[in-house]
């Protein structure tokens, strides 16, 4: 399980892709973090360095939380949706990020947005998630 600052999660596709990459890294033993949740945060942030990836996490400034429930095969049984609804109250906003927060976390410049268009911010974030493995 990993809690992320929901204002920095650009879409469901973003978080699913990051989670798949993190689980794949663990199953192939090329993970950097020792914990699956931290590896998810690392990919979600598009960062190789764990310290920098922490910007994607929950802080005292966090207003909304995106909760990711994932485990390596056979390791955990998560509560079903009914059980979760007893514990958590969804805000109904789903993935509705704050674009300024996303631009800051992912270092997306105005020039970059001008060249591809603001409607492609999700693609820019996904690209950074995909490239997280290539940074050294």
Give the pLDDT score at 74: 61
Tell me the backbone φ, ψ of residue 24, rounded to 5 degrees.
-65, -45
pLDDT tens-digit series, residues 6-57? 999 999 999 999 999 999 999 999 999 999 999 999 999 999 999 999 999 9
pLDDT tens-digit series, residues 48-78? 999 999 999 999 999 988 988 887 776 666 6
On whether residue 26 sits in a domain, the answer given is yes
On whether residue 105 sits in a domain, the answer given is yes
Number of domains in the chain: 1
pLDDT tens-digit series, residues 69-111? 887 776 666 666 676 666 666 677 667 788 889 999 999 999 9
Whether the pLDDT of residue 116 is over 90: the answer is yes
On whether residue 80 sits in a domain, the answer given is no
On whether residue 48 sits in a domain, the answer given is yes
On whether residue 22 sits in a domain, the answer given is yes
Q: Report d(CA 23, CA 70) in Å as an integer.
A: 8
Give the pLDDT score at 60: 95
On whether residue 61 sits in a domain, the answer given is yes
On whether residue 57 sits in a domain, the answer given is yes
Nearest to 17 by CA among 47, 56, 46, 38: 46
Q: Report d(CA 70, CA 36) in Å as an integer.
A: 8
Q: How confident is the model at residue 133 (pLDDT cuts 50, 70, 90)?
A: confident
pLDDT averaged over every residue in the chain: 87
Range(s) of the domain holding residue 115: 2-72+87-131
Q: Kindly report the pTM of this predicted structure.
A: 0.84
For position 54, which CATH number holds?
A: 3.30.2380.10
On whether residue 77 sits in a domain, the answer given is no
């Amino acid at each position: 399980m990993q809690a992320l600052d929901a204002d920095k999660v650009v879409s469901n596709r973003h978080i699913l892709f990051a989670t798949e990459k993190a689980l794949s890294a663990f199953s192939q033993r090329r993970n950097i973090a020792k914990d699956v949740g931290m590896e998810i945060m690392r990919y979600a942030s598009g960062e190789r360095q764990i310290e920098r990836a922490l910007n994607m996490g929950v802080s005292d400034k966090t207003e909304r939380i995106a909760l990711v429930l994932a485990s390596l095969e056979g390791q955990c049984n998560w509560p079903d949706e009914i059980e979760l609804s007893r514990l958590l109250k969804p805000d109904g906003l789903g993935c509705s990020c704050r674009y300024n927060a996303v631009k800051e976390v992912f270092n997306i410049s105005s020039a970059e947005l001008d060249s591809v268009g603001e409607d492609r911010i999700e693609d820019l974030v996904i690209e950074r998630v995909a490239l997280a493995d290539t940074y050294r």
